[in-house]
């Protein structure tokens, strides 16, 4: 019996691990890589295993770095079932098709640029700008790119086309493989393999998975944390500490380590810090721009702002959620009140209030409304995807607001290495440390350079990942008896530091390398 670690090893994206026990092969997550575009593209097109050999799959939660390659899996021979919570099924119903639409849009644009360049090179006797304008007019219609003509020209000139990793049709087909299960109910994963889901407290529907497998008469228990949430956060329950008796003796704990050497701001400090940012920014006549993951973080922000407005602690400026995906996922949150914690029931539900809907909030779906919002100059709050500033409407809001020192870019989540979000965070911190003196740092996105004059503030209390102390609390206070720990889902420095901490605490720890197989004796 063994586990092979294919993704989220030495990094925080691309989660994919395979348990092999006899004839059963159970996949734990199948996520997308995020980061450097060329490298991520290469990794995401490749599956390091034969999907047809996988018996079944467990999905810890809906975030794309854990679910995003599932359409590749189901398109290429997987015939099993994907077990997860019902909330995760509902969330993936929006997240996976949205991921596909982004890929299709990117592919169309890159093919347009290829054809445009060829046609410009073939056009004589005009300035470069006139050539560009003439070609653009030919390839773009009133409703966007003329995809039929672009494909015709690519075929004619034998140009290599860029294709999406998967299409929206592939994503919707993948959804037919999903099965939703309540927490703490048995799930058949193979001939001699069973699983059970426990609340991970990370996002709505997130799960810790306990898998019990048999091989050659020997029974072993594997626990996969997925992403562990924080303790004491609003809306969701804390990570499970009380496991059923048959699941407590764990031979191998596969544990995340995203913040293995960091300590978050206390959850209790979240509201005062957010209050300070809103009051200071609105006080100087600026707006607050929040790059946010559409699922989980957006809803937490709405909850926190709603609570501050109810307490009359900040100016009630308009709040705009500029993301069709976040709009749909907020609806998913509203459909699963059974997963809310007691405080949310007490503060909102028992009075018939929706935690995520209030008078000042507006959900923007139409492009023209989004464009009008970008030009708005009076103070307001914008929550927009993507969370790491790699795509989506957030880039256009940044284009309009990043140069104004009155505005604040509020960082509310993890920014992976090599993303625009990480550059904004690091450059903004360095500029602030220098007293905001001298030339503002320049950031390149959307094919242009922009000065980072807006203030950059990190709000740590909103992180959905447990920090070092909270992960140690999970190990100490849960009733699991763990023989060995394998650390995944962390950049090397974080994972190595946490491994050392665990070893000093008497735990047997292994830090796997990508593609490494660990035998469970």
pLDDT of 111 > 90? The answer is: yes
pLDDT at 248: 98
User: How high is the pLDDT of residue 348?
Assistant: 84
302-309 average pLDDT score: 94
Give the residue, 167 or 137, on which the prediction is more confident: 167
Q: 267-462 in CATH: which number?
A: 3.40.50.10890
Written as six digits, the tokens of 255 are 């544990």
Please tell me the predicted confidence (pLDDT) of residue 41. Answer: 87
Asked whether the bond before 407 is cis by omega within 30 degrees of 0, the reply is no
pLDDT value of position 352: 83
Strands 381-384 and 252-256, bridge-based pairing: unpaired
Per-residue pLDDT, 472: 98
Antiparallel, parallel or unpaired: β 442-445 and 448-451: antiparallel
Q: What is the structure's pLDDT at 354?
A: 87
Compute the chain's Rg from CA coordinates. Answer: 24
| Structure confidence at residue 188 (pLDDT) | 98
Q: In the chain, pLDDT over 70 holds for what percent of residues? A: 100
CATH 3.40.50.10890 segments of the chain:
267-462
Task: Please provide the average confidence, as pLDDT, over all residues in the chain.
Answer: 94
**CB count in 10 Å sphere of residue 184:** 14
Whether 180 shows a pLDDT value over 80: the answer reads yes
Look at residue 290 and tell me whether its pLDDT is greater than 90. yes
Contacts 24+ apart (CB under 8 A), 210-213: 210/243, 210/247, 210/250, 211/19, 211/26, 211/58, 212/246, 212/247, 213/1, 213/19, 213/21, 213/22, 213/24, 213/26
Nearest to 446 by CA among 394, 482, 521, 504: 394
Q: Is 464 helix (H, G, I), strand (E, B) or coil?
A: coil
The DSSP secondary-structure symbol of 500 reads: H
Q: Which residue has the higher pLDDT, 34 or 75?
A: 75
β-bridge mates for residue 17, sequence order: 5, 28
For residue 100, what are its two tokens?
A: 């596909």
Chain segment 427-484, per-residue pLDDT in tens? 999 999 999 999 999 999 998 999 999 999 998 778 889 999 999 999 999 999 999 9
pLDDT tens for 311-345 read: 999 999 999 999 999 999 999 999 999 999 999 98
Segment 122-157, tens digit of pLDDT: 887 778 888 888 888 899 877 789 999 999 999 999
Lowest mean pLDDT among 24-28, 125-129, 357-361, 389-393: 125-129
Choose among 318, 313, 311: nearest CA to 287: 318
Over 80: is that where the pLDDT of 37 sits? no
Summary count for the chain: helices (H), strands (E)? 16, 26
Classified as helix, coil or strand, 339 is: helix
pTM of the model: 0.89
Which H helix or E strand runs over 20?
A: strand 16-21
Provide mean pLDDT across the span 179-197: 97
Report in angstroms the alpha-carbon separations of 262 from 114, 240, 402, 488. Answer: 44, 22, 28, 16
Instruction: Compare 459 and 515 and report the one with higher pLDDT.
Output: 515
> Collapsing DSSP states into helix, strand and coil, what is residue 476?
helix
Joined tokens for residue 205: 């529907």
Count the Cβ atoms, other than its own, within 10 Å of residue 245: 7
Q: Which CATH superfamily is domain 2-96+168-262+464-519 in?
A: Ribonuclease Z/Hydroxyacylglutathione hydrolase-like (3.60.15.10)
What are the start-end ranges of the H helices in 314-442?
A: 324-334, 342-347, 367-374, 394-401, 420-433
Instruction: State the pairing for strand pair 381-384/455-458.
Output: unpaired
Q: Where in the chain is the domain with CATH 3.60.15.10?
A: 2-96+168-262+464-519
How open is the CA angle 390-394-400, to the nearest 5 degrees?
120
What is the pLDDT, as a whole number, of residue 406?
97
pLDDT recorded at residue 22 = 94
pLDDT-based confidence at 414, cuts 50/70/90? confident
Tell me the three state secondary structure of residue 193: strand
Q: Which is it for the CA torsion 488, 490, 495, 499, positive or negative?
A: negative
| Stretch (H or E) spanning 16 | strand 16-21
CB atoms within 10 A of CB 107: 16
**pLDDT of amino acid 126:** 76
Pairwise CA distance, residues 82 & 74, whole Å: 10
Which of 229, 225, 194, 231 minimizes the C-alpha distance to 208?
Answer: 225
**Cα 365 to Cα 62: distance, rounded to the nearest angstrom:** 22
Three-class SS state of 460? helix
- Is 160 a residue whose pLDDT tops 90? yes
Q: What is the pLDDT of residue 51?
A: 98
pLDDT for 413: 83
Task: Reduce the DSSP state of residue 120 to 3 states and report it.
Answer: helix
What pLDDT shows up at residue 35?
73
Q: Which two tokens stand for residue 426?
A: 């690091």
Tokens for 223, please give them. Answer: 């626990």
212-234: pLDDT as tens digits:
999 988 999 999 999 999 999 98
């Amino acid at each position: 019996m063994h586990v092979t670690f294919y993704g989220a090893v030495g990094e925080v994206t691309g989660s994919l691990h395979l348990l092999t026990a006899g004839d059963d092969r159970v996949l734990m997550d199948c996520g997308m890589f995020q980061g450097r575009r060329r490298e991520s593209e290469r990794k995401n097109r490749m599956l390091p295993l034969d999907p047809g050999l996988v018996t079944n799959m467990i999905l810890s939660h809906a975030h794309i770095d854990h679910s995003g390659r599932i359409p590749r899996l189901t398109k290429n021979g997987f015939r099993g079932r994907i077990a997860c919570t019902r909330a995760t099924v509902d969330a993936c119903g929006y997240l996976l098709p949205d991921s596909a639409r982004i890929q299709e849009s990117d592919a169309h644009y890159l093919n347009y640029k290829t054809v445009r360049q060829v046609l410009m090179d073939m056009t004589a006797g005009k300035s470069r700008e006139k050539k560009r304008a003439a070609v653009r007019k030919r390839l773009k219609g009133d409703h966007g790119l003329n995809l039929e003509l672009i494909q015709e020209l690519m075929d004619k000139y034998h140009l290599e086309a860029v294709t999406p990793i998967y299409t929206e049709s592939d994503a919707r087909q993948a959804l037919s493989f999903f099965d939703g299960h309540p927490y703490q109910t048995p799930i058949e994963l193979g001939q001699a393999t069973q699983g059970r889901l426990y609340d991970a407290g990370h996002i709505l529907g997130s799960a810790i998975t306990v898998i019990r497998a048999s091989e050659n008469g020997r029974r072993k228990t594997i626990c996969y944390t997925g992403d562990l949430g924080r303790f004491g956060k609003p809306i969701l329950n804390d990570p499970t500490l009380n496991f059923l008796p048959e699941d407590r003796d764990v031979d191998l704990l596969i544990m995340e380590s995203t913040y293995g050497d960091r300590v978050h701001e206390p959850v209790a400090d979240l509201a005062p810090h957010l209050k300070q940012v809103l009051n200071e920014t609105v006080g100087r006549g600026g707006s607050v721009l929040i790059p946010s993951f559409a699922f989980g973080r957006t809803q937490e922000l709405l909850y926190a702002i709603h609570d501050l407005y109810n307490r009359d602690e900040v100016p009630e400026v308009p709040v705009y959620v500029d993301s069709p995906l976040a709009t749909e996922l907020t609806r998913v949150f509203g459909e699963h009140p059974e997963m809310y914690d007691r405080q949310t029931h007490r503060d909102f539900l028992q009075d018939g209030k929706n935690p995520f809907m209030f008078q000042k909030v507006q959900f923007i779906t139409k492009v023209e409304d989004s464009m009008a919002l970008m030009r708005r100059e009076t103070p307001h709050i914008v929550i927009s995807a993507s969370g790491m500033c790699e795509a989506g409407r957030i880039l256009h809001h940044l284009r309009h607001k990043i140069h104004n020192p009155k505005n604040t870019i509020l960082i509310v989540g993890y920014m992976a290495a090599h993303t625009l979000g990480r550059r904004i965070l690091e450059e903004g911190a360095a500029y602030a440390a220098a007293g905001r003196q001298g030339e503002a740092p320049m950031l390149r996105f959307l094919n242009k350079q922009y000065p980072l004059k807006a203030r950059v503030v990190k709000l740590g209390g909103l992180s959905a990942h447990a920090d070092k102390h909270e992960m140690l609390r999970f190990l100490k206070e849960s009733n699991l008896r763990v023989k060995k720990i394998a650390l995944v889902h962390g950049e090397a420095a974080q994972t190595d530091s946490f491994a050392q901490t665990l070893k000093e605490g008497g735990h047997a720890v292994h830090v796997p390398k990508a593609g490494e197989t660990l035998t469970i004796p």
